[in-house]
Structure 1
Amino acid sequence: MDLKSTLLVVGGSVCSFKLLNTVVRFLPTPEPAHNKMWKWRNTVTSLAHSSLTGAWAVSCLYCQPKMLEDLISSYSLLSHCLVAVSTGYFINDFLDVSLNQSLKQSREVLLHHSTVLSCFTLAMTSRLYLGFAVVSLLIEINSVFLHIRQVLLLLGQGNRTGPAEPCTSVTYSLTSWLNLGTLLVFRICTTGWMTRWLASHREHIPRFVFMIGTTGLSLISTMNMVLLYRLLRADFLTNPHNTSKNH
Structure 2
Amino acid sequence: MDLKSTCLVVGGSVCSFKLLNTILRFLPTPELARKKSWQWRNISTSLAHSSLSGAWAVLCFYLQPQMLEDLIFHHSLLSHSLVAVSTGYFIYDCLDVALNQPCKQSCEVLLHHAAVLSCFSLALTSRLYVGYCVISLLVEINSVFLHIRQLLLHSGRRNRQGTHIKAPRPSVTYSVISWVNLGTLLVFRVCTLVWMSRWLAAHSERIPRYVLMIGTTGLSLISITNIVLLHRLLMADFLSSRHNTSKDHERKPVSPE
Give the stretch that moved more between structures: 2-11 or 30-39: 30-39
Of 221, 235, 240, which residue of structure 1 is paired with 2:244? 240
Where does residue 112 of structure 1 map in the other structure? 112
Where does residue 129 of structure 1 map in the other structure? 129
- Separation in 1 of the partners of 2:190 and 2:207? 23
- Separation in 2 of the partners of 1:23 and 1:224? 31
- Percent pairwise identity: 71
Where does residue 154 of structure 1 map in the other structure? 154
- Separation in 1 of the partners of 2:169 and 2:68? 41
Give the stretch that moved more between structures: 76-85 or 25-34: 25-34
Where does residue 187 of structure 2 map in the other structure? 185
How many residue pairs were aligned?
Answer: 245
Q: CA deviation at 1:166?
A: 3.0
- Separation in 2 of the partners of 1:184 and 1:240? 24
Where does residue 10 of structure 1 map in the other structure? 10
Give the residue type in structure 2 aligned to 1:190: T
Matches within 5 A, 1:70-219: 70-159=70-159, 162=166, 166-167=169-170, 169-219=171-221
Give the residue type in structure 2 aligned to 1:166: R
- Separation in 1 of the partners of 2:253 and 2:218? 18
Give the stretch that moved more between structures: 233-242 or 63-72: 233-242
> What is the Cα-based RMSD across aligned positions, in Å?
1.1
Where does residue 29 of structure 2 map in the other structure? 29
Gaps of 5+ in 2: none
- Separation in 2 of the partners of 1:221 and 1:91? 21
Please give the TM-score of this superposition, normalised by the length of structure 2: 0.93
CA contact (8 A) 2:142 2:188 kept: yes
Of 202, 219, 222, which residue of structure 2 is paired with 1:220? 222
Give the residue type in structure 1 aligned to 2:200: L
Give the stretch that moved more between structures: 218-227 or 9-18: 218-227
Residues 57-84 of structure 1: per-residue CA shift (max 9 Å, x gap): 0000111101111110011000000000
- Separation in 2 of the partners of 1:90 and 1:162? 41
Q: CA deviation at 1:228?
A: 0.3
Give the residue type in structure 2 aligned to 1:137: L
Where does residue 52 of structure 2 map in the other structure? 52
- Separation in 1 of the partners of 2:238 and 2:157? 15
Gaps of 5+ in 1: none
- Separation in 1 of the partners of 2:194 and 2:169? 32
Q: CA deviation at 1:162?
A: 4.8
Q: CA deviation at 1:240?
A: 2.3
- Separation in 1 of the partners of 2:199 and 2:152? 36
Give the residue type in structure 1 aligned to 2:198: R
Q: CA deviation at 1:159?
A: 4.4
Please give the TM-score of this superposition, normalised by the length of structure 1: 0.97
- Separation in 1 of the partners of 2:147 and 2:68? 28
Runs (4+) of structure 1 exceeding 3 A deviation are 159-163
- Separation in 2 of the partners of 1:218 and 1:91? 21
- Separation in 2 of the partners of 1:70 and 1:240? 46
- Separation in 2 of the partners of 1:29 and 1:228? 28
- Separation in 1 of the partners of 2:102 and 2:38? 13
